[in-house]
């Protein structure tokens, strides 16, 4: 059996049945499956995930009983097969079909003929399959074409015009560059660029963050440059948290929703490892990741602790120079890195997010010294989790004034979707 397709299948099963994050599941299965072409596996996995609803629409048109009646194992093999036939020019038609049948013999025993028949039907009838009529139902058309749950499209249409929303949908289906944050505690940017290029990597300067580099090449995290703590992987928009926060040497900084720690560590690096960064999170296991990273990066000013950010820690009242609230959110800004987010259902938990975000922001405000700074940020694009939360907060606690807001957009800025709001605490309401 082809190890590449087996690895892709196991990854997609993990994402579908265990609700695993695609990047984590894929990395795990590549280690376990030892495929000879990891790039092929990644292309197939992310291609299927990015186009899942479109693929299911196609399958539904080919199977009389409908896609809802198909077992998960069969469905994943069919998605993989049709994606190879439709999008992967490097794969001959016979290989896409034959390898799918071989997968079925292992993971969908007794369904080989069914899968073979559906794939051959697609080859024969693919030009007859049409998208939903845009004029009749634009949301359904966009939902199928770009594979997004309809509620996400409806939500974005409340804030942006149709053309802009379609650009957002397209951007979410594009594969981003690997973006790294240089660790200036250990290396100068010029030296890091030279070393990476000398080892065969293509390096491009970032557009927004001063410490950002865009990298093309394989096995970046296996290099000694990474192992020795010269850089971390982090999107430019996320890097901008530390840059806009502008922490100073010797200050006390709190990051109240810190895990997995990218922003915490970027802040500590920017402080030149002088001061205190108190990183808290509700899950201890996630804080352990931060502790491991501090060792790799050569950082010793980060203190981690388990804490529920919705509650006030009386021991820290008025003691922080700057506080960062990277609030739990719908994560609609990172779809291009985690395409499974597109298929989230609009649950009561998602609807309750603004209330939770406001509670965390309000509790965190009590830690800020007079004249200190409070930053609120999310990796989403929805105003009800961003601007509206800030408006509600300012009405509730008017001693804070907004100094700067930034909304990064994937289709405009070539970054993850990310919102940043920097506020200052003052006792003068007229300041």
- Catalytic residue numbers? 379
Under 8 Å between Cβ of 251 and 274: no
Give, in degrees to the nearest 5, the angle at Cα 194 between 192 and 195: 65
Helices (H), 203-261: 224-227, 236-245
Report how far residue 210's alpha carbon sits from residue 212's, in angstroms, rounded to the nearest whole number.
Answer: 6
Give, in degrees to the nearest 5, the angle at Cα 409 between 185 and 378: 65
What one-character-per-residue DSSP string does 256-287 give? TT-TT-HHHHHHHHHTTT-SEEEEEES-HHHH
Under 8 Å between Cβ of 387 and 356: no
Nearest to 85 by CA among 141, 44, 113, 42: 44
Residue 139 burial (CB count, 10 A): 17
Q: Which residue has the tokens 């966009």?
A: 142
Helices 262-270 and 284-297, packing angle to 10 deg:
40
Which residues, listed in sequence order, are joined to residue 305 by a DSSP beta bridge?
280
Name the 3-class secondary structure at 406.
strand
Residue 249 burial (CB count, 10 A): 10
Name the 3-class secondary structure at 154.
helix
């Amino acid at each position: 059996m082809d190890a590449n397709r087996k690895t892709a299948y196991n990854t997609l099963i993990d994402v579908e049945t265990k609700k695993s994050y695609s990047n984590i599941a894929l990395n795990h299965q590549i280690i376990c499956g030892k495929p000879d072409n990891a790039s092929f596996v990644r292309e197939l996995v992310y291609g299927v995930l990015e186009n899942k609803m479109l693929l299911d629409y196609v399958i539904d048109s080919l199977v009389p009983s409908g896609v809802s009646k198909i077992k998960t194992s069969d469905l994943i093999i069919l998605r993989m097969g049709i994606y190879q036939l439709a999008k992967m020019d490097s794969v001959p038609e016979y290989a896409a079909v034959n390898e799918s049948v071989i997968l079925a013999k292992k993971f969908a025993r007794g369904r080989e003929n069914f899968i073979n028949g559906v794939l051959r039907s697609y080859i024969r009838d693919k030009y007859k399959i049409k998208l939903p009529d845009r004029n009749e139902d634009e949301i359904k058309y966009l939902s199928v074409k770009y594979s997004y749950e309809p509620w996400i499209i409806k939500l974005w249409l409340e804030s942006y015009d149709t053309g802009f929303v379609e650009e957002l949908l397209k951007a979410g289906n594009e594969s981003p560059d690997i973006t790294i944050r240089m660790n200036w505690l250990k290396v100068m940017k010029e030296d890091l660029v030279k070393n990476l290029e000398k080892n065969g990597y293509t390096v491009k300067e970032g557009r927004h963050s001063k410490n950002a580099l865009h990298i093309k090449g394989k096995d970046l995290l296996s290099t000694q440059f990474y192992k020795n703590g010269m850089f971390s992987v982090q999107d430019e928009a996320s890097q901008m948290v530390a840059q806009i926060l502008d922490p100073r040497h010797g200050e006390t900084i709190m990051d109240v929703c810190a895990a997995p720690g990218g922003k915490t560590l970027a802040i500590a690096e920017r402080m030149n490892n002088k001061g205190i960064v108190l990183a808290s999170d509700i899950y201890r296991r996630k804080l352990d990741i931060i502790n491991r990273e501090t060792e790799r990066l050569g950082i010793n000013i980060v203190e981690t602790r388990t804490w529920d950010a919705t509650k006030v820690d009386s021991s820290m009242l008025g003691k922080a120079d700057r506080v960062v609230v990277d609030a739990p959110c719908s994560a609609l800004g990172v779809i291009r890195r985690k395409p499974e987010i597109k298929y989230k259902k609009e649950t009561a938990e998602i609807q309750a997010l603004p209330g939770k975000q406001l509670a965390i922001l309000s509790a965190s405000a009590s830690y800020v010294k007079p004249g200190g700074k409070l930053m609120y940020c999310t990796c989403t694009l929805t105003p009800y989790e961003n601007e509206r939360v800030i408006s509600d907060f300012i009405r509730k606690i008017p001693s804070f004034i907004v100094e700067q807001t930034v909304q990064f957009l994937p289709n405009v800025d070539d970054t993850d979707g990310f919102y940043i709001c920097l506020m200052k605490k003052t006792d003068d309401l007229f300041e």
